[in-house]
Amino acid sequence: MLPTQRQGNMKRRLAEFFRFANVSLLATVVDYGIGYLLTHTGLTSIVVATGIGHLSGMIVGFFLNKYWVFRDTSSRETTTQLVRYVVVSLGNGLLNTLGVWGLNQLGVDNYWVVRILVGTTVFVFYSYVFTRAFVFMRKSRPVV
């Protein structure tokens, strides 16, 4: 591969990552917003609110990731991708919930501090890698 081809591939991958980050930000706003409302209206605990908020963000994230981030317009693989996305998202939700629980057990109970610290860690080390490699791994997928 020529250096200019590598640079082009790197730019496309970086653009894809930034689209993923934007979708994740939007899904996170949905997730945290619902969790915050549930927690601060007294409807549920921080741990349960984390799970419910995550499910809401997951729905937003799947469709935007499929059609905008990874530019997959095929309907043929949607069901399989959705199942894989749910598996990755459940892992994401589990990691977030366990992280929130762990920090809460250590006495950190500020909703925003706990959620942002845990959520950022899970995003950087888990979400993009598994979504790209496991959910939307079609070889025929355009890179742009």
Nearest-angstrom CA–CA distance, 137 and 80: 11
Q: For residue 61, what pLDDT band results from cuts at 50, 70 and 90?
A: very high
Share of the chain above pLDDT 90, in %: 61
Q: What's the pLDDT score for residue 134?
A: 92
Q: What's the pLDDT score for residue 77?
A: 87
Q: What's the pLDDT score for residue 144?
A: 46
The answer to whether residues 93 and 55 touch, using CB atoms and an 8 Å cutoff, is yes
Share of the chain above pLDDT 70, in %: 94
Average pLDDT over residues 84-100: 91
The answer to whether residues 16 and 143 touch, using CB atoms and an 8 Å cutoff, is yes
Nearest-angstrom CA–CA distance, 123 and 56: 17
Domain chopping of the chain, boundaries:
3-135
Average pLDDT over residues 66-77: 90
The answer to whether residues 114 and 103 touch, using CB atoms and an 8 Å cutoff, is yes
Q: What's the pLDDT score for residue 138?
A: 65
- Rounded to 10°, the helix 78-105/46-64 angle is 150
